Amino acid sequence: MARRLLRVLDAFSIERPELGLTDISRTTGLPPATAYRLLRELIEHGAVQRTAAGRYAVGVRLWEIGRLTPTISRLDDVAMPYLEDLYEATHGSVHLAVPLGADAMYVSAINGHQPVRPLRPPGTRVSLASPGIGQVLLAYAATEVLHEVLADGHRTGGRPACSAYGLRQSLADIRRHGLAESRDGIGPFSAVAPVFRAQATIVAAVSVAVRAPSDGRLLGNLLRRTAAEISRELGASKREFPRIEAGHNAGLAGDRRAIEGRSSIQ
């Protein structure tokens, strides 16, 4: 019984948050009558709810239970004030993601009225081989995780997969600089930095994307410092997270003030 109930819940996803009975039956392989009976039981416990259109969606009780996940709830409590400060300084799109097997899962997002795309709502998953937040998490992951990603063909969310050699080179660059950056010349600029807990264990990555910064190094330095502050609160010692670029050591508050003064970022 429990396995079938979980199969029904697994039918919902970030791409398909609302489903009809036929959809659930087809996805789970359960007969419609069985799926309907299981849905009634889930509704009774608040795990599933009916929408105004008569379809099915995840219920509030599951959200309440999910908030009890110790690792993510602790991370969110610690990181959110820093993420809010980062948003206020940059007016960009700010995200936090955690590793989950061979994937990265977004757990927090802060966007303004004109967010920088792509939008990644909490619950979105991408491969650890994906440029940016995925590769930053992969760069500091255990060796067996890298082997799993390589064995999976390092899918990159619809983008052409790079070679294993190219992926390893990208990961080495991230470890060398403590940061991943992406800029196409005239378009948005994005950067991602790792977040650690004690013993240099990777627990998350924080990213910011802005439209056109006048000083990408300054923004990257602010992001590194933000990640370092979160890491310290999670128990990482100073020597356990990547260095901050020489020549940019005025401090976190100083970096924020410098970026806030550059109207081009906003």
Total residue length of the chain: 266
On whether residue 28 sits in a domain, the answer given is yes
Position 176 scores a pLDDT of 92
Instruction: For residue 14, give both structure tokens.
Output: 């970030």
On whether residue 265 sits in a domain, the answer given is no
- Cis peptide bond N-terminal to 81, omega within 30: no
Helix axes 32-44, 21-28, angle to 10 degrees: 110
Instruction: For residue 97, give both structure tokens.
Output: 């993601």
Query: Do residue 33 and residue 100 come from a single domain?
Result: no
User: What residue type is assigned to position 240 of the chain?
Assistant: E
By CB atoms closer than 10 A (0-12, 13-18, 19+), residue 63 is exposed
Query: Do residue 207 and residue 168 come from a single domain?
Result: yes
Closest by CA to 181, choosing from 221, 154, 225, 150, is 221
Global confidence as pTM: 0.78
Q: Which of 25, 50, 66 is the last residue of a domain?
A: 66
Q: What is the pLDDT along the chain (266 residues), one digit of tens a residue?
A: 889 999 999 999 888 999 999 999 999 999 999 999 999 999 999 999 999 999 999 999 998 998 888 888 899 999 999 999 999 999 899 999 999 999 999 999 999 887 887 778 888 999 999 999 999 999 999 999 998 898 876 554 444 446 888 899 999 999 999 999 986 556 688 999 999 998 889 999 999 998 876 667 888 899 999 999 999 999 988 765 555 443 334 445 555 555 555 434 44
Instruction: For residue 94, give both structure tokens.
Output: 């700010």
- Lay out the sheet containing 48-50: strands in order across: 18-19, 56-58, 48-50
For residue 188, what is the domain's CATH number? Answer: 3.30.450.40
Query: Do residue 191 and residue 78 come from a single domain?
Result: yes
Query: Do residue 56 and residue 116 come from a single domain?
Result: no
CA distance 144 to 150: 10
On whether residue 230 sits in a domain, the answer given is yes
For residue 19, what is the domain's CATH number? Answer: 1.10.10.10
Position 257 scores a pLDDT of 55
Query: Do residue 115 and residue 182 come from a single domain?
Result: yes
Query: Do residue 170 and residue 226 come from a single domain?
Result: yes
Domain, as residue range, for 56: 2-66
Query: Do residue 188 and residue 114 come from a single domain?
Result: yes
Number of structural domains the chain divides into: 2
Position 240 scores a pLDDT of 59
Position 256 scores a pLDDT of 55
Position 158 scores a pLDDT of 42
Query: Do residue 19 and residue 91 come from a single domain?
Result: no
